[in-house]
Structure 1
Amino acid sequence: MLKALRYTLAAICLAASVGCLALWWRSHAAWDFINVPSYVYRTRTVNLQSMPGTVSVQLLDKEASAYLAANNLLWRHSVAFESTIDDRLLSLIHASGAFGRLSYGVYFPHWYAALVFALAAVAAIRIGRQFTLRSALVGMSVVAALLGMVVAL
């Protein structure tokens, strides 16, 4: 039973990793937004953005959160294509592939999230009582494939 849970966790992490790579590929043509309610801070909203090469996660202030809730914009996916984005707004995009801190959030490259999920999948497969050559080969091939995707993109 525990083995099935480990493999399920590994499959979910690998799917999330591939999803992050797909989002990275899509981010070069579109800018995706989603606003979700924060369950830790009840009056605040978490804003997730996928910009060209970068993911931004930010905790919005109370006024912006109240506006989003009043206009029924929570849990709604919005897309802005690069041709429709104002030049002033494009200047606000963080440097592609950079790490940084916002006032109430962070931004990081897409490949970083993909790599974290891939390493979590390898760790979920690897967790066991003994180290085997098979687990080493599976882990190395998964990490090599993901790093190859990073280089290709």
Structure 2
Amino acid sequence: LIVKGPDQDAEAVYEGGLRMKGSFCLLRQDANLRVTEYHASEVREISVGNDFHMTFVPSASGRVIDFETDVLKTPAVQLAAQIEVPANVLTPLWADIVPAAEDTDGSYRVLEVSVGDAETRLVLDTDSFAVGLNSGSEAPGNAQLRRAFNYAFATGAILTIPYSYHGRPD
């Protein structure tokens, strides 16, 4: 069975006792219609009758409070939230940052997650977040470096990591 919803909070009930709250789920059933395997992306809950029921963390998100502007340093983003990655989530993880600069893809592979007291630091798979020179700037000095370039996103943007799961019911 393939079940598609508009977003991770959408809830729908289908024939045969199928219920889903989430974006996408693929269920494999045997000849007796028992679920033998599942794949769920951005899903909170999926069930089929009384025989199969799974709950998931559909995603994690946080507001960007800082990011590395130096092209010679590790491309990291600081979030004003603690991001917890469930142990059974599929990897690699991908992060979507919106809003992104015009003609810029705001999707990045997540290389590392470090959780602090009230923040999370993510190392993302890119050479730099700079996407071009700021048209009004001249050759930058160290104090003006951040203003000399246009970046793929700005502080205040929202970073979301959609989670996917795959497995067989117990």
Range of TM-score over shorter length: under 0.3
Q: Counting strand residues as a fraction of each chain, which structure ranks higher?
A: 2
Report the structure, 1 or 2, having the larger helix content: 1
Structure whose alpha-carbon radius of gyration is higher: 2
Q: What TM-score results when the alignment is normalised by the length of structure 1? A: 0.27
Q: TM-score, normalised by structure 2?
A: 0.25
